[in-house]
Amino acid sequence: MDTENRRPSGLLGPLRALGDGLLAAVQGRMELFSLELREEKFRLIRTVVWVTAAVFLGMLAIIFASLTVVYLFWDSARLAVLGGLAVFHTAALAAVLLALRRFLARQPKPFAATLQEFAKDRACIHKQN
């Protein structure tokens, strides 16, 4: 009877240790993922606030500057000024869109640390096989 009681615990011991190790690894990765998710959320909110403020103030500046220029040339070259402003604003929009595209391309990949840790885990598992 003694050997029968020890045998299951002898087999279950390594399995429990393996299960505990796997759960600990998953828990660590989930904590890292949770932290990165929180950081990404704050960065996104901060970016949206800044972009909204910049767009709003930029639009006000463009509108009032354009109105001022059109008002100054109302009698002499109204159509030329309106056409020039349209070309200028279109070129400025293209420049801003290109800059935004470059900015977004340089941003770090979301959850990069979590993905890196999973890659390390897979590499360790492949080394052991």
Q: How many domains does the chain have?
A: 1
- Structure tokens of 94? 């293209």
CA dihedral 7, 9, 12, 13 (to 10 degrees): -120
Residue scoring higher pLDDT (3 or 12)? 12
Residue located via tokens 């990765």: 29
Q: Is the pTM of this model over 0.75?
A: no
Q: Which domain holds residue 40?
A: 36-128
Q: Is residue 18 part of a domain?
A: no
Query: What distance lies between CA 54 and its chain's CA centroid?
Result: 19
Reported as a pLDDT band with limits 50, 70 and 90, residue 9 is low
pLDDT per position as a tens digit, 102-129:
988 888 777 777 778 778 877 777 776 5
> What pLDDT is attached to residue 52?
93
DSSP code string of 27-57 = HHHHHHHHHHHHHHHHHHHHHHHHHHHHHHH
pLDDT tens readout for residues 48-93: 999 999 999 989 988 998 999 999 988 998 889 989 888 998 998 8
Assess if residue 42 is contained within a domain: yes
Task: Tell me: pLDDT of 3 over 60.
Answer: no
Looking at the domain assignment, is residue 6 inside a domain?
no
Q: Is residue 88 part of a domain?
A: yes
Q: Output the pLDDT for position 46.
A: 93
Whether residue 101 is contained in a domain is answered as: yes
Rounded to whole angstroms, the Cα distance separating 2 from 60 reads 86
Residue 40 forms part of a structural domain: yes
Round to whole Å and give the CA distance between 34 and 9: 35
**Alpha carbon distance 23, 30 (integer Å):** 10
Residue 51, domain member (yes or no) = yes
How far, in Å, CA of 28 to CA of 113, rounded? 12
What pLDDT shows up at residue 91? 92
Contacts of 25 (CB under 8 A, 6+ apart): 121
Supply the pLDDT for residue 5.
47
Q: Decide if 16 is inside a domain.
A: no
